[in-house]
Amino acid sequence: MENIITLAHGSGGSATLRLIDQVFKKHFNNDILSMGDDCARLNIGNAKNIVFTTDSFVVTPIFFKGGNIGKLAVCGTVNDIATSGATPLYLSCGFIIEEGFSIDELEEIVESMSNTARECGVQIVTGDTKVVQKGAADKIFINTSGIGIVPDGINISGRNAKVGDKIIISGTIGDHGSCILLERENMGLQAKIKSDCAPLSSLVQDMLKITSEIHVLRDPTRGGVATTLNEIAAQSKVTILIHEDKLPVKLEVQGVCELLGMDPLYMANEGKLLCFVPAEKADVILNTIRGNKYGENAQIIGEVVKAGEPKVLLHALSGGIRIINLLAGDQLPRIC
Amino acid sequence: MTNYIDEFRDKVVMQKIVERLCTYSGRNIKIMEVCGTHTMAISRLGLRSLLPKSIELLSGPGCPVCVTPTSYIDSATELADNKDIIVTTFGDMMRIPGNESTLLYKKAKGCNVQMVYSPLNAVDLARENPNKEVVFLSVGFETTTPVIALSVYKAKSEGIKNYSVLTANKTMPEAIKTLAGDEELAIDGFIYPGHVCAIIGTDFFSYLSYNMEKAGVVAGFEPLDILYSINTLVKNITEDNYILENMYSRIVKKEGNIKAQQKVFEIFEPNDAVWRGIGMIPNSGMGLRDEYEKFDAAKKFNIKLKVSPEPKGCLCGEVLKGKKRPSDCKLFKTRCTPENPVGACMVSSEGTCAAYYKYGDGQIS
């Protein structure tokens, strides 16, 4: 079979990681890229600690309960910057729009982006628009890139997880993934699930006011908490243990996942963050997160137990231990 | 109000049952579960890491995709090459390797392959695309066959002529009977598939328990369903109590789902079927009755299923019979991974090798 791109390469799992290694990193490689975090850390002249990131958004449907592709595009890039410890400052946005797309819908998306940007104090300072023929894009694709500045003394990276660190999730998992799945596929299921799409910069600022000793921050988007924990385990070369009874999952999300045979650990989140903090700081950070409107349901879900072997383990409800692995492609619903 | 989830996930009760199972000091016993969803659930629970070594849990051929012969995938990918055909399938089948290709690859190359959540969606597609032929890949056990039967029934009653199914449907009873009679395997007891029994009822497995002297339980899929069932099975095995106990009675009735059985009987009839890795088991498959032959894709497109050898080194057949564990296969995690599966056991979401790869083999401290 020819070596071609399939949908598995876009799911954020092991196929995606291999593609990045075998094609992108092979040709683009440099010290900055090989750090492996969501943002690149740059020093330009006298300006130190600049972070720079980019993300593209192709979600279907483009309007969903809790948001739309525009809000997602702003939150996604703002959150990547915020989870590097930086204050997000400026965004660019590029639009690829399919011929025939409604200008009213475009305006609704753009207005939503403007509102979200205003909430986080970022400015959209440059952009681009392309229109392609019918069929060459699925309604609208958006790319956003962003820059921010990391304050002195803050060193947050996926490589910094330490044995003994406690792991906190800022709220319920799987909301966005379940919402999109239900809205995209006509399954005849009705559930009060909405996307958790939200900007997390204010939450991160609240946390940094309390302590600078935050080792890792990341937003568990595509591929869910399971994928993000595996990435961090690989970057930091540590074994992570998660406790199943501590994972916060909305009842409706659990219900949908049970019915379809999906696992909330692998469902996307667009308004949550994972943080790794020293054990002695865990309670105070947890309370700080819970004090922010986007962190009400935060929980300590696990800890880093060993250095050396990158692994993510689950302490299951039964008391047994099993692996949380990377998926090869997308999660697929059950047959029987 | 009960939601049938929380009550069956009570951590305290779970740990009590596990503690009790860990006090088992009898002879070595082998329990086989024959449902892919049970394989996955047991792995997700981390159960193998908890049970004493004297209670061995084996996985059987309970994954409908895994037991589908490679040549079926070859036929499906050939159909996909036809520009006038839309191939519709459950998502699982997309990555299963045929001898040449996969459906995911064909889709990426521009063939019209669509994942559906239900065969009824495939009928909708046929209605919406009158100039194309829609073929549904009809793979599944007794739990899935009723809704496939319904899709054929709907298509016929609406006069839809461009819908057909390529059948590889299977039934569990004869396969389980074959395994129960395998002296080399020497299974002591079975965990029977809860949702299959919800359709077909429990009589056949009662008969099997009594006549072949194998204790059995019909189990659900929640953690406590599985733990209670294993606990009951261990007790019955050690007491030589060759009975079937229905421990999923909130869903499973003795007579099963009569309406579903009737629909299946109307559209399908039993036939002999080839199980990948096991060979031909008489009366273990389902094909369309003659009066529905216009909906039979094999007849419509003149497809003959060929016999194809297993890939060299692949132990899927032995794994499906419970004779080998995935870790016994030299290809497991080396050449055979979820991204590059050699055999179906690895890539199907209910496959034993996929479960062991994803969740570990229970040897974790």
- CATH number where A77 lies: 3.30.1330.10
Please give the order of strands across the beta sheet that includes A274-277.
Answer: A216-218, A274-277, A166-169, A299-307, A238-243, A311-315, A321-323
Indicate where chain B has its CATH 3.40.50.11740 domain(s): 33-315
Tell whether A265 lies on the interface with B, counting CB pairs under 8 A: no
Instruction: Report the pLDDT averaged over residues B62-76.
Output: 89
| Among B304, B263, B277, B252, residue whose Cα is nearest residue B65 | B277
Cβ distance of A7 and B108 shorter than 8 Å: yes
A2 within a domain of the structure (yes/no): no
Domain assignment present for A5:
no
Same domain as A292, residue A240: yes
Q: What is the pLDDT of residue B216?
A: 97
pLDDT tens digits, residue range A84-111? 999 999 999 999 999 999 999 999 999 9
Model's pTM, two decimal places? 0.89
Residue of chain B nearest A255, judged by CA positions: B5
Contact B120, B263 (CB under 8 A): no
Higher-confidence residue of B348 and A314: namely: A314
User: Which CATH superfamily includes the segment(s) B33-315?
Assistant: HypD, alpha/beta domain 2 (3.40.50.11740)
Contact B104 A6 (CB under 8 A): yes
CB contact under 8 A, B338 and A327: yes
- The answer to whether A151 faces chain B, any CB pair under 8 Å, is no
- The last residue of a domain, from among A93, A115, A149: A149
Q: What is chain B's mean pLDDT, rounded? A: 91
If you ran DSSP here, which 8-state letter would residue A222 be given? T
Tell me the mean pLDDT in the region A42-69. 94
> Would the pLDDT of A330 be above 90?
no
Residue A335 has pLDDT above 70, yes or no: no
Is A1 within 8 Å of B144 when comparing Cβ atoms?
no
Mean pLDDT of A275-280: 98
Band of residue A159 on the pLDDT scale cut at 50, 70, 90:
very high
A283 and A239 assigned to the same domain:
yes
Average pLDDT over residues A168-182: 96
Most confident stretch, A25-29, A284-288, B87-91, B357-361: A284-288
Who has greater pLDDT, A261 or A115?
A: A115
Cβ contact B139–A335 (<8 Å): yes
Q: Does A313 touch chain B (CB under 8 A)?
A: yes
Statement to judge: residues A231 and A140 lie in one domain: no
- Confidence check: pLDDT of A187 > 80: no
Phi and psi based region of residue A108 (left: phi greater than 0; alpha: psi -120 to 50; beta: remaining):
alpha
Confidence grade of residue B363 (pLDDT, cut at 50, 70, 90): low
Band (A185; pLDDT cuts 50, 70, 90): confident
pLDDT tens per residue across span B31-52: 999 888 898 888 888 888 888 9
pLDDT above 90: percentage of residues in chain A: 78
Q: Which residues of B touch A227 (CB under 8 A)?
A: none
Shared domain for A43 and A94, answered yes or no, is yes
| Inter-chain CB proximity B50 and A318 less than 8 Å | yes
* Statement to judge: residues A251 and A221 lie in one domain: yes
A315, A199 in Cβ contact below 8 A? Answer: no
pLDDT digits 0-9 by tens, B226-277: 999 999 999 999 999 999 999 999 999 999 999 999 999 999 999 999 888 7
One domain, residues A69 and A213: no
d(CA B224, CA B234): 15
Assigned domain for A37 exists: yes
- What does the pLDDT read at residue B8? 87
CB A245 to CB B11 under 8 A? yes
- Interface check for B72 against chain A (CB to CB < 8 A): the answer is no
Task: Yes or no: say if A265 and A325 are a contact pair by the CB < 8 Å rule.
Answer: no
Buried b (16+ CB within 10 A) or exposed e, A120-158: bebebeeeeeeeeeeeebebbbbbbbbbbbbeeeebbbb
Please check whether residues A71 and A204 belong to one and the same domain: no
Nearest to B234 by CA among B50, B19, B12, B28: B28
Nearest to A322 among B49, B92, B117 (CB): B49
Residue B170 pLDDT class (50, 70, 90 cuts): very high
Angstrom distance (rounded) from CA B6 to CA A181: 24
Task: Look up the CATH number of the domain holding residue A274.
Answer: 3.90.650.10
Q: Please report which confidence band the pLDDT of residue B1 belongs to, taking 50, 70 and 90 as the band edges.
A: low
Domain shared by A243 and A306, yes or no: yes
The confidence band for B364, taking pLDDT boundaries of 50, 70 and 90, is: low
Mean pLDDT for B70-98 is 92
What local confidence, expressed as pLDDT, does residue A145 receive? 98
Residue A320 contacts B where some CB pair is shorter than 8 Å: yes
A335 and B14 in contact by Cβ < 8 A?
Answer: no
Task: Assess whether pLDDT exceeds 70 at residue B365.
Answer: no
Confidence of residue B4 (pLDDT cuts 50, 70, 90): confident
| Domain with A120 in it | 31-149
pLDDT of residue B356: 87
How many residues appear in chain B?
A: 365
How far, in Å, CA of B284 to CA of B353, rounded?
23
A158 within a domain of the structure (yes/no): no
Q: What is the mean pLDDT of residues B206-234?
A: 94
A188 with A310, same domain: the answer is: yes
Domain termination residue (choose one: A90, A119, A149): A149
Q: Does B55 touch chain A (CB under 8 A)?
A: no
* Contacts with A201 (C-beta within 8 Å, 6 or more apart), sequence order: A78, A79, A81, A82, A87, A88, A120, A121, A122
Q: Measure B294 CA to nearest chain A CA, in Å.
A: 25
Number of folded domains that form chain A: 2
- The answer to whether the Cβ–Cβ distance between A318 and B347 falls below 8 Å is no
Banded pLDDT at B167 (limits 50, 70, 90): very high
Q: Is residue A13 part of a domain?
A: no
For B220, residues 6+ apart whose C-beta sits below 8 A from its C-beta are B8, B194, B226, B229, B247, B248, B250, B251
DSSP state of A24: I
* Of the residues A149, A174, A200, the one at which a domain ends: A149
Residue A138, in any domain of the structure: yes
Select the residue from B339, B357, B365 to test the A interface by mutation, using most A Cβ atoms within 10 A: B339
- The minimum CA-CA distance between A244 and chain B, rounded to whole Å, is 10
Lowest mean pLDDT among A141-155, A157-171, A231-245, B89-103: B89-103
Q: Could you write out the three-class secondary structure of chain B?
A: CCCCCHHHHCHHHHHHHHHHHHCCCCCCEEEEECCHHHHHHHHHHCHHHCCCCCEEEEECCCCCCCCCCHHHHHHHHHHHHCCCEEEEECHHHHHCCCCCCCHHHHHHCCCCEEECCCHHHHHHHHHHCCCCEEEEEECCCCCCHHHHHHHHHHHHHCCCCCEEEEECEECHHHHHHHHHCCCCCCCCEEEEEHHHHHHHCCHHHHHHHHHHCCEEEEECCCHHHHHHHHHHHHHHHHCCCCCEEECCCCCCCCCCCHHHHHHHHHHEEEEEEEECCCEEEEEEEEEECHHHHHHEHHHHCCCCCCCCCCCCCCCHHHHHCCCCCHHHCCCECCCECCCCCCCHHHHCCCCHHHHHHHHCCCCCC
CB–CB contact B144 A7 (8 Å) = no
B231 vs A: CB within 8 A: no
Residue B204: is its pLDDT beyond 70? yes
Which of these, B42, B64, B354, lies nearest to B229 by C-alpha position? B42
A3 interfacial to chain B (CB closer than 8 Å): no
